[in-house]
Structure formats: C-alpha cells, structure tokens
Amino acid sequence: MAPSFFLAAIVATGVGLVYSIWRGGNLTRMALLVVAAWIGFAVGQLIGAVLDLHVLLIGEVHLLEGIIGSLIVLVLVGRPAET
C-alpha cells in the first residue's frame, strides 16, 4: 500500500471522528460517518486529480479537496432524519 493511501485514510478518519464527536450519536452512527468521510475524501481526491489542482498537495494527496469532499458528504449524511 502506498503511503498516500494511509495519509488519506488517516485524514478522512479524523474528519469523520471529529464530525461524529461534534454531532453526537452512538457507535454505529460514528462508523457510518467515518465511512461517509472516506467516500467524500475519495470524491474530493478524484475531483482534485481530474482538475489538476495543486492546493495543499502532499505527495499525491489533495488534502483541501479531500477534506472539502468529506465535509460535504458528512453534512448530507449527518442531517437529522425528518419525522
């Protein structure tokens, strides 16, 4: 596995955990939010690579785009359910 994968996984997991702590919830919800953060980070990575952006680039990891992607997906997934 490439070091860039581990960096991306650590950052995405951190974003998901911080968001989970901020919004609250149980362990299942935390796991859902971490997976959502991974998906968002991957989408952000893809967008950064396709658009050839070089903002906060560490190796092959587009940190800014990945974090923004994670936050967007977390906001969409983390909204309270309407009843």
Locate the domains of the chain by residue range.
3-77
Span 24-81, pLDDT tens digits: 878 999 999 999 999 999 999 999 999 998 888 898 999 999 999 999 999 999 776 5
C-alpha distances in Å from residue 83, one per residue of 30, 33, 80? 21, 21, 9
Please compute the mean of the pLDDT values over residues 1-20 and round it to a whole number: 92
- The DSSP code for 83 is -
- The DSSP code for 52 is T
Q: Which residues contact 47 (CB under 8 A, 6 or more apart)?
A: 53, 62, 65, 69
The Cα 73–Cα 76 span in angstroms is 5
Contact 16, 70 (CB under 8 A): yes
pTM: 0.88
